[in-house]
Chain A
């Protein structure tokens, strides 16, 4: 039964293992040059230049944080304005109700709070986390991706994906092992 199923269900992709971040970057660069687009690299720490080698440029995180910060700033100030001027005005010695200099500290704190919340939840949302299941974890050696090994996975949905071609490409790029990734 297992054999008949594995023939029917297409693979998620093919994964190669590398020993060092340098060989991984080089392999990613070559894969990008060879025209592969649907692929991802996995490393136990942020490797400088790896995302760029995969053809990923820029992220939307700063924009999300900026929007969060602006909303926090406006929201924080308007909250105080609404409380002090509209909902619960108190006349103290005829001073203006909209005493904005006194509202700056809370406005500042709320700005930081909303910007920080949008940074963390923004990066989680963009990364699609939490994700309880992902095919790459089906590769047994992949648990070393959080220890000392580096992986490159070319996905089967890539237009140029061909099992034998990709396998040969990985072997020429200096990989130390090539694994089929079950979906």
Chain B
């Protein structure tokens, strides 16, 4: 399965295939399932898993320290009480959005190219939401009381305040995690049955058999299954839009200059999809190379993801523009000051860096030679990942550090624990991904068979 660079550049982009020709139902099945069922684990897997697991240990250590000592280990202090934890929360949850977009919205839009990337994009969603959920809980100060956020008949006779966006967040994020998990698992059932039938060892056969729940591919089951899958996609589509909208309400409902803005919901949702596609590219490009999956995750997929990034990136750019314009047009002293401070204040370098990473560098995607170049796409994806983290930092920290009263002004910087927890969450994400690609098929096998069947029918 050699990649063919001459061929890649010679083809015009519209003729790029969603799957390379020459496969049969059997060979597709064997190729994808052999990654999981092979007895030999590749060396890069061990190296990657070990490195990410070290970071997971760092995360565990920091969590233990936070539980023992308290959130004083973070750099948060009035006026900036929302530091890295909230920045990371918004960043991770945004990354998750691309998985749902690929699996649900592109399914409803009948975009066939989604079928080889939806499985690991959904896994990415799950792991990103798991990382995201960690931060607000750690930020609570006393995480062992996190269940107070849910309405339950407590002996204290109190209840959560359903008028608060922070409570909406609890419901939005927990619903999002649950629905993403259901969607992912439902998609996995037929592939688990394939692994059950192809596994040779007794133990894997038993485990995959239990997880497949006796799936036998009955036509009537398939019919109900497809209906349920379609309905779940229809439910997940408004859900994914609502989640980042609710996250943006955490800010927009508050009165802080730089937060209290009606453009936040659409601008947050676009930013979420933007950063999510950047992360899908960041994962897909090394994966297809390491596992030789260039025939399934073709240049067409990478190019299309680049185009989605370009489109959502332009929406984000529009958001920045309107924020700046409204600060001036409102004539509001505090809004105007907020924008001047954001651009030229003590954190001004971060603002210009985020403009560079989020707006300037991705413009390269307009050029055909660059958006069909794998290395360029990878670099742009990394730039967007960094840029979107900086954007959340600017929104959270820079808005808070100077609000209405100069007597309330202060500076903020993350401590070593802040950085360690952030690095640890990346380690957790990568570690979970490594486990996932080792034990479950990272490409939906039955959807690839279906795609192949459709492509054959079309060419005949």
Contact B168 A43 (CB under 8 A): no
From residue 167 to 185 of chain B, which have CB atoms closer than 8 A to chain A? 167-168, 171-172, 175, 178-179, 182-183, 185
Give me 7 other A-B pairs in contact (C-beta within 8 A), A105-B168, A127-B225 excluded. Answer: A40-B218, A42-B219, A46-B223, A61-B227, A62-B227, A112-B235, A112-B239
Check A178 for interface membership: any CB of B closer than 8 A. no
Check B162 for interface membership: any CB of A closer than 8 A. yes
Bound CA span A79–B185, Å = 29
Q: Which of A6-14, A129-137, A169-177 contacts B (4 or more CB under 8 A)?
A: A129-137
By a CB distance below 8 angstroms, the chain B residues around A54 are 219-220
Would you give the 0/1 interface string for A54-85, flagging 1 where the beta carbon is closer than 8 Å to chain B? Answer: 10100101100100010000000001100110
Contact B161 A46 (CB under 8 A): no
Contact pick for A134, options B214, B220, B222, B249, CB 8 Å: B214
By a CB distance below 8 angstroms, the chain A residues around B25 are 44-45, 147-148
Contact pick for A146, options B194, B242, B246, CB 8 Å: B194
With contacts A110-B175, A113-B178, A147-B25 known, is A56 near B220, CB below 8 A? yes
Bound CA span A94–B40, Å = 69
By a CB distance below 8 angstroms, the chain B residues around A115 are 231, 235
Count A-B contacts at CB 8 Å: 189
Check A50 for interface membership: any CB of B closer than 8 A. yes
Bound CA span A84–B179, Å = 27
Bound CA span A28–B299, Å = 39
Contact B219 A40 (CB under 8 A): yes
Bound CA span A83–B239, Å = 24
Contact A146 B228 (CB under 8 A): no
Tell me how far the C-beta of A53 lies from the nearest C-beta in chain B, rounded to whole angstroms. 8
| Residues of B bordering A, CB below 8 Å | 24-26, 29, 151, 157-163, 165, 167-168, 171-172, 175, 178-179, 182-183, 185-186, 189-190, 193-194, 196-198, 213-228, 231-232, 235-236, 238-239, 242, 246, 249, 446-447, 449-450, 453
Can you list 9 A-B contacts with CB-CB less than 8 angstroms, sorted by A residue number?
A: A40-B220, A41-B219, A42-B217, A44-B217, A50-B223, A59-B224, A129-B189, A134-B214, A146-B217
By a CB distance below 8 angstroms, the chain A residues around B217 are 42-44, 145-146
Contact A51 B162 (CB under 8 A): no
Contact B175 A113 (CB under 8 A): yes
Check A47 for interface membership: any CB of B closer than 8 A. yes
Chain B residue with minimal CB distance to A49?
B219
By a CB distance below 8 angstroms, the chain A residues around B190 are 44-45, 146
Contact A147 B225 (CB under 8 A): no
Contact B450 A148 (CB under 8 A): no
Contact pick for B231, options A62, A102, A124, A136, CB 8 Å: A62
Chain A residue with minimal CB distance to B225?
A123
Bound CA span A99–B161, Å = 11
Bound CA span A16–B70, Å = 67
From residue 77 to 115 of chain A, which have CB atoms closer than 8 A to chain B? 79-80, 83-84, 87-88, 90, 99, 102-103, 105-106, 108-110, 112-113, 115
Tell me how far the C-beta of A123 lies from the nearest C-beta in chain B, rounded to whole angstroms. 4
By a CB distance below 8 angstroms, the chain A residues around B158 are 88
Tell me how far the C-beta of B443 lies from the nearest C-beta in chain A, rounded to whole angstroms. 14
Contact A116 B182 (CB under 8 A): yes
Contact B197 A83 (CB under 8 A): no
Contact pick for B162, options A40, A103, A119, A147, CB 8 Å: A103
Contact B242 A46 (CB under 8 A): no
Bound CA span A108–B218, Å = 34
Bound CA span A120–B179, Å = 10
Contact A80 B228 (CB under 8 A): no
Chain B residue with minimal CB distance to A104?
B168
Counting chain A CB atoms within 10 Å of each CB, the highest count among B194, B198, B219, B225 belongs to B219
Contact pick for A127, options B198, B224, B242, CB 8 Å: B224
Chain A residue with minimal CB distance to B448?
A45
By a CB distance below 8 angstroms, the chain A residues around B226 are 46
Contact pick for A130, options B26, B213, B227, CB 8 Å: B213
